[in-house]
Amino acid sequence: MTAWFCWFFVSAIAGRFTAKLRGKDDHRFGMDHLPEPLQIGIFGDYDRNSPTLPFLEKSIEHASKELHVAAEAKWLPTPSLLDPEIETKLEAFDGLWAAPGSPYKSFDGMLHGIEFARRRDWPFVGT
């Protein structure tokens, strides 16, 4: 289930990314010719001993290989989402994912990250 869901999410981000490029340039970009890897930010407090969290990155990797799209995931700890400069940092990501795993170290941080994505219509998924 996670692999299929992740494939859909990465595919949607890649489609939005290529549409954005087509709007800026006359060049035709396909998903397999993106100029740089898709950047996916994962909100959550990573724990390698978790039964689910390590598989988020693996799912993104699997989906990107199936779609022939380079994608990189970066974990964003929930306390870091309260940083006054976080909105500038989040704008660098093509998609955002709220990982499972509550209670979070900073519930307010998680909500702030989600609010950023929702208010700006950023590609976002929460699991």
What's the pLDDT at 96?
Answer: 93
Q: Kindly report, residue by residue over 84-121, the tens digit of the pLDDT.
A: 999 999 999 989 999 988 789 999 999 999 999 999 98
What's the pLDDT at 36?
Answer: 78
- Answer yes or no: is pLDDT of 71 > 90: no
Contact call for residues 55 and 87 (beta carbons, < 8 A):
no
Lowest mean pLDDT among 2-6, 45-49, 58-62: 2-6
- Answer yes or no: is pLDDT of 35 > 90: no
Domains and CATH numbers, the chain: 2-126 (3.40.50.880)
The residue that leads in pLDDT, 63 or 99, is: 99
Contact call for residues 78 and 71 (beta carbons, < 8 A):
no
pLDDT averaged over every residue in the chain: 81
Which residues have C-beta within 8 Å of that of residue 68, sequence separation ≥ 6? 31, 32
Contact call for residues 59 and 3 (beta carbons, < 8 A):
yes
